[in-house]
Amino acid sequence: MGLFDFITGAGKKLPDPAAQPPGSAASDEARAKFNAARAAGLAKLVKEHGFDVPNLKVEIDGERVTLSGDVASQEVREKVVLLVGNTWGTGKVDDRLRVTAPPAPAAKLYTVVKGDTLSKIAKEQYGKAGLYTKIFEANRPMLSDPDKIYPGQVRRSPPAA
CATH of the domain at 124: 3.10.350.10
CA distance 52 to 71: 7
- pLDDT (tens digit, 9 = 90+) per residue, 53-79? 999 999 999 899 999 999 999 999 999
The CA–CA distances, whole Å, from 123 to 57, 75, 128, 130, 155 equal: 37, 22, 4, 8, 15
Domain that holds residue 116: 108-157
68 and 7 part of one domain: yes
26 and 95 part of one domain: yes
37 and 73 part of one domain: yes
CATH of the domain at 54: 1.10.287
| DSSP secondary structure letters along 115-158 | T--HHHHHHHHHS-GGGHHHHHHHTTTT-S-TT---TT-EEEE-
54 and 73 part of one domain: yes
- pLDDT (tens digit, 9 = 90+) per residue, 6-28? 888 888 887 664 566 666 667 88
- pLDDT (tens digit, 9 = 90+) per residue, 100-146? 988 888 889 999 999 999 999 999 999 999 999 999 999 988 889 99
CA dihedral 132, 135, 136, 137 (to 10 degrees): 120
Q: Quote the number of domains for the chain.
A: 2
18 and 80 part of one domain: yes
Q: What is the pTM of this model?
A: 0.81
